[in-house]
Amino acid sequence: RNEYKYFQRMTSTSHAEGKQNALIMGKKTWFSIPEKNRPLKDRINIVLSRELKETPKGAHYLSRSLDDALALLDSPELKSKVDMVWIVGGTSVYKVHLE
């Protein structure tokens, strides 16, 4: 419980006025969040999946890769709206980028 509160506080708190943080997560992580809690509020939720054809209900964006998600965050549409970017899992997202 304390761990979740810490996660929520850290990922929700923006240090730039008028901006939000972005969360990048894999498809399994997204669907592990109870539907009533999706999207994670006060944050821009980006789901990574090579298989999904449409943005999952509640998510703000769908990207095919971490590189695509980072390019999206660098786009004029989002660059001025995003403070920090958090990669919040899951295992396959970390594994691909740590190898």
Band (99; pLDDT cuts 50, 70, 90): confident
Cα separations (Å) of 57 from 30, 53, 54, 62, 85? 10, 12, 9, 10, 21
Q: Report the first-to-last Cα separation within the chain, whole angstroms.
A: 32
Containing 63, the helix (H) or strand (E) segment is strand 61-63
CATH number at residue 28: 3.40.430.10
96 — pLDDT class (breaks 50, 70, 90): confident
pTM over 0.85: yes
The boundaries of the domain holding residue 29 are 2-98
- Give pLDDT tens digits for 8-35: 999 999 999 999 999 999 999 999 999 9
Domain count, the chain: 1
39-77, pLDDT tens digit by residue?
A: 999 999 999 999 999 999 999 999 999 999 999 999 999
